[in-house]
Structure 1
Amino acid sequence: MTNDLAYHYSIPSTVQRIETQTNIFLSHYNEDAVKEVSCFFWGKLKEPYLTAKCLTTLSKVVRSRFALSPQEIAAMRDPIVTAGAGKMRFEAFSSCNGIYARLDILPEGLDGEFLSSGTTNVDFNEPMINALTGILKQDEVFLSVGQKEVILEKQGEQVVERKVTLPTRWIKGLTSVQLYLAEMDEVCKLTKLQTIQLFQTLPKGTIRTAYYLTMRAGKAIFTPASMDGAIMIGGLHRIRLLESLLPFIDSFSVYATPDRQASAFVLSIGALRFVFSLSADPYRGFSGEGNVLDNLTDNIPLEWIRGANHLLKANEEFNPTLFSLENDIEFETVDSLCASLSAMGLLGYDLTTRQHFYRRLPYKPERIASLNPRLKNARKLIEKEEVELLTTTPAYIEARVKGTNVWHTVLIDEQTQRCTCQWFTDHRGMRGPCKHILSVKILTENMEASSY
């Protein structure tokens, strides 16, 4: 698989200013489009100044690098935009993939027409971002995702083709981050004043050790001391990217996974929601977590994924039970499909509504499915007959799996899964299962399926 993808932007994204009216034209590209969609949305932003502030913050996240050396060149990535169901969602990761950021523009923040629904890349170039900073509170701003009029067929029209590195880390990040978000619960909700006071407790400079967010005497603080119920935040300095938005927020909600290792913050700003999620540490990008691998052991045919793409609309809430009833599909089948859709990044998660939403990724399903080497290596172990099942009961599995000049022991029960390999020793399941555990799970699931 090539590491480069040609983005065919008909024109660069631009911001045009005419007196007090500003028009934002976001050029788009979709690798997996069934047909060319000239325009997804055209209309007026009801809160243009705040939207511009949020988009500028999103661009700062994209250009941030918290785990890469200065010598590494991190090209700017183009965010993806999901348009549909009356909403617009702009999603992006930091270059190091340790921060996930999303701007949701809710229906009350838009006054326009959704000409099509779907998910697409948009050109987020530097001149356009610079122009966003010049938008004033009294300005009228119109947003176009794509061109309202198709001009590609004009004779002699130049097509801008920009070679970019395929953001495979972004795609893998989308498959992982929504599983973390779906596990999270709201820990606290702060007012604007409480949030500003919280950020005043941020230490200066780059923070090398883990810090914790905790409540003390009814006040939220960041502290280096761990205590019961505190949320661990590795690389606390990353949260400074939100400081420019604090004067405009209505509330600041804090979410965390049950183990308090991953966190997310939701800034409510009028008709906007800005989601900011951090990996456990700066050196741990969401793309490498591997928490989706357990959900990919069922080999769901790509035809099912394509079928879901035809049935589901972008930004539509995905309710597995309702989907099963409406389409006369067995609950177990929909559960497997839901797991695969999540693991392939086709389902996102909205913390405020506690619901999954559908996104039609602008990358071919075949490309997404090829991004998990541990899963591919696990299937190779089965093909080479290098997995031996010693004990298989509903409550306990013991197996031997061939490694490099050694056989590893895999133990799986109702509570835990363990392996004697170095990967498991290093990570203890914190970054998903190793290929040996995966191979045992796939083999036993295949045997159970064939027995019916």
Structure 2
Amino acid sequence: MTDAGTTEAVYRYAFESVIDRDGIRLATTRTDASFFSGFVEHPKVLADALLVLARISRTRYYVPPGMLAAVLRAADPVVTVAPDSLRFEAFSACCGVYARLDVTSDGMEVGSRTSGVTNVDVNPPLRAALAALREHEPLHLVVTSDAMEVSTMDATVREEKVTLPNRWVRGFAETQVALSFMSEQLRLDAASARRMIRSLPSSSPTRSLVWVVPTSGTQVRLATRAASDGAGVPVAGPERLRAIDPLLRHATSLRGYGSHSVASAWVVDVPGGRFTLCLSPDKSRGFSGEGGLLEKLLVDGPGRSHDAQLLDSSLSAGTYLPPTGDGLGLETAQFDAAVAVLATGGRLGYDLESAAYFHRPLPLDTIDFSRIEEAHPRLVAARALVSEGAVTGTGDPFLVRSGDEVYQVRRRPDATFSCTCAWYARHASSRGPCKHILAARLQGGVR
């Protein structure tokens, strides 16, 4: 109650009101608002792909030494209903494998559709119904803000919304960074893809890495390094890529993507859609700790959260955002910082097919964009070092006092930075900058 004796009520709307060629759809405060209802054109493909997603989310590909494999409750797909697709996303239990199924418009017969996002469980009853689906049997799908319902000839199974793990939010933030740097390196036909996947080892040492190197046509070989001309795609923890094997009977092609990192992505093209698998640079490394957003968040000032808020409000679930922000009226550094803020909240992904970001407004409580840095402890620590006056020097080098030690941060000729701390000695720049480099860049105004 307020002083005036009135009662304050907060209304939450599950989706945006829309006026388009299909008519008017008004959001209400009902919690079971419908996002999608329709039949799938290739039901067996969808069934097999959802089973692969569910299996990945229940799998821990790496168990740290001295730790027993935890039996985790699976946190199954985040479902995005977009104007042109249905998108299902999941992480492995160790967060080192990201999987996504995109069902495109030609892969579904839409009864009704409104952009929105939810996350649901895939429990044994649904897995059993999907596994029992026979070829050419229909599959009807309903997605609401609170559930997903799948109907086959034999059963109707409803899966309720579940709590989204915070580690998944951090994983979403980092996978979009990794994917945004990747480009297609090779393409295999279905037969070559099956041979390559089935030649991978079923287990490997912790830091194992193989390269898939093209030879001639659509043929490839497994090697210990890239080809002499740099061609090839790395596969860290190669047994993780075997997760796509059940989908290869539907595949029309398999595409491999790589970048300067040894993270990789693999896209299985199937009738009516595609399945993407992204592997972290090492099976002992989950995506949630990669630090790929830190440099973009060095832009200071209240304008950063304001830009992020405006950008967020201009998008609806699943819509695409050009990777350069052309036409938005923001400088490159401002746009990158706004993207980093949204990505930190898990609200942006990256699509290799479109080479663009897509909006993913996760069903979480309202995000305070002004406090987004709290999700990045290294950046919080760096700002504390600057405020304490711990950074001195002219930049050649910067001297950063941290605890009882003083570290030297130098800027190299190629504009990258090095530090004399133990963290940098172990990781260099492979997991984002250390807190001392961040502090030096903040102090020196080097963005």
Q: What TM bracket, shorter-length normalisation?
A: 0.7 to 0.9
Match of 2:34 among 39, 48, 51: 39
Structure 1 residue 102: deviation in Å?
A: 0.4
Alpha-carbon separation, structure 2, partners of 1:205 and 1:434: 32
Alpha-carbon separation, structure 1, partners of 2:94 and 2:102: 22
- The 3-state SS of whatever aligns with 2:132 is coil
Structure 1 residue 332: deviation in Å?
A: 5.3
> 8 Å contact 1:320–1:335 — kept in the other structure?
no
Structure 1 residue 422: deviation in Å?
A: 0.8
User: 1:31-430 counterparts in 2 under 5 A?
Assistant: 36=31, 38-68=33-63, 69-146=67-144, 167-206=165-204, 209-218=208-217, 219-224=219-224, 227-228=227-228, 229=230, 230-259=232-261, 261-299=262-300, 301-319=304-322, 325=327, 333-363=334-364, 364-366=366-368, 369-388=373-392, 390-391=393-394, 398-413=397-412, 414-430=414-430
- The 3-state SS of whatever aligns with 1:356 is strand
C-alpha distance 224-179 of structure 1, shift in aligned 2 (>3 A):
same
Q: State the aligned residue count.
A: 396
Q: Deviations over 1:290-320 (max 9, x none)?
A: 1111112224544443332221111111026
Structure 1 residue 380: deviation in Å?
A: 1.6
- The 3-state SS of whatever aligns with 2:39 is strand
Aligned partner of 2:23 in structure 1 is none
By relative contact order (CA 8 Å, sep 6+), the higher-ranking structure is 1
Scaled by the length of structure 1, the TM-score of the pair is 0.80
Alpha-carbon separation, structure 1, partners of 2:298 and 2:146: 43
Provide structure 2 residue ranges, at least 5 long, that are not aligned to the other structure. Answer: 1-27, 148-158
C-alpha distance 442-276 of structure 1, shift in aligned 2 (>3 A):
same
Q: In structure 2, give the amino acid aligned to 1:105.
A: V
- The 3-state SS of whatever aligns with 1:42 is strand
Alpha-carbon separation, structure 1, partners of 2:242 and 2:77: 21
- The 3-state SS of whatever aligns with 1:313 is coil
Alpha-carbon separation, structure 2, partners of 1:204 and 1:320: 37
Aligned partner of 2:8 in structure 1 is none
Alpha-carbon separation, structure 1, partners of 2:145 and 2:263: 39
Structure 1 residue 265: deviation in Å?
A: 0.5
Q: Give the RMSD, CA atoms, in angstroms.
A: 2.8
Q: Deviations over 1:7-39 (max 9, x none)?
A: xxxxxxxxxxxxxxxxxxxxxxxxxx9984511
- The 3-state SS of whatever aligns with 2:411 is strand
Q: In structure 1, give the amino acid aligned to 2:234.
A: M
> 8 Å contact 1:207–1:237 — kept in the other structure?
no
Q: Deviations over 1:49-102 (max 9, x none)?
A: 110110100111101111124342332113211112121111111011110100
More moved, 110-119 vs 191-200: 110-119
Quick one: percent identity of the two aligned structures?
Answer: 31
> 8 Å contact 1:324–1:330 — kept in the other structure?
no
More moved, 53-62 vs 118-127: 118-127
Alpha-carbon separation, structure 1, partners of 2:213 and 2:160: 49
Provide structure 1 residue ranges, at least 5 long, that are not aligned to the other structure. Answer: 1-32, 150-159
Q: Deviations over 1:171-220 (max 9, x none)?
A: 11111111111111111111011111212322344455322211234421
Q: Deviations over 1:394-424 (max 9, x none)?
A: xxx6321121211111112443211111100
Alpha-carbon separation, structure 1, partners of 2:419 and 2:32: 49
Question: Which 4+ residue blocks in structure 1 deviate beyond 6 angstroms?
Answer: 160-163
Aligned partner of 2:13 in structure 1 is none
